[in-house]
Amino acid sequence: MNDLTETQSYPQHTLGKSFLLHVSPGLLVTAAFFALKPLFASTGYPPLLAFLLAILLVDLPVMLGVMLYEGKKLNGHYSLAGVVLYREKVTWKAFALIFIGASVVVYILIMLVTPLSTLLTDSLFSWLPDWIFLEEQSQYEAYTKSVLILVFSLQLLITGIILRWVEELYFRGYLLPRISRFGTWAPLVGGLFFALYHVWQLFGIVTVFLLGTALGYIVWWKKDIRLSISLHVFANTLLRIFLLVGVLAM
């Protein structure tokens, strides 16, 4: 499908509307995270639990709500039909090859930009409180093993699987095709907006931008949303497992 056909087939958002739809869930979940965090200050649970609750209570409902609202307008009932696009299916052989190749490329890219991300964190974001760096293991030394098992198991389920699935439906399945008129620039624009959505972790903006852009180009190229879902869930689930193991080994 060429760019002209895409623009004719998919309803298009203005750049401003696309930006707002990308960033608004992130702003809202960050505000919820900051509001909930003080409630856990003396409960024996880490701020990570406040963040997970913010995801469940705000981020997921907002993204699903926007898509279902669009589905109601389009279909007369709450549905993702015609809302989440890029549903062409590549062969399983092509799926496996793209999955493996993309995993290797993304891993290499992340390793290459890690020093830059560290530099940005140390130079521009060192003023942030320690608790906002949710993947910094040292902050969890004060908590009991039972609390850590509970919280990090929830993190594995919520931000490793559920959130990443919904993010792909929303960002790559719903929003990306609606800026397809930009052609090969669309995944780059979507990747930038996706990075800005992560307001709560702007110190990791370079890594998130690369990940979002890579996922966008894969879906834009093959028109198969399953590719980005599987890659995003796999990468984050693996990371969450490593975090859980690392925290429990402290």
Give per-residue pLDDT as tens, 74-94.
Answer: 999 999 999 999 999 999 999
For residue 16, give the H/E element and its range.
helix 15-36
Q: For residue 1, what pLDDT is reported?
A: 44
Average pLDDT over every residue of 111-138: 89
Rounded Cα distance, 99 and 218, in Å = 10
More confident of the two residues 84 and 43: 84
Average pLDDT over every residue of 177-199: 97
Is pTM beyond 0.85? Reply is yes
The encoded tokens of residue 23 equal 């960033």
Rounded Cα distance, 164 and 158, in Å = 8
Q: For residue 116, what pLDDT is reported?
A: 86
Q: For residue 41, what pLDDT is reported?
A: 78
Sign of CA dihedral 161, 167, 169, 173: negative
Distances, alpha carbon 57 to alpha carbons 5, 99, 150, in Å: 38, 32, 18
Average pLDDT over every residue of 11-37: 97
Q: For residue 212, what pLDDT is reported?
A: 96
Percent of the chain with pLDDT over 70: 97
The encoded tokens of residue 229 equal 């879902």
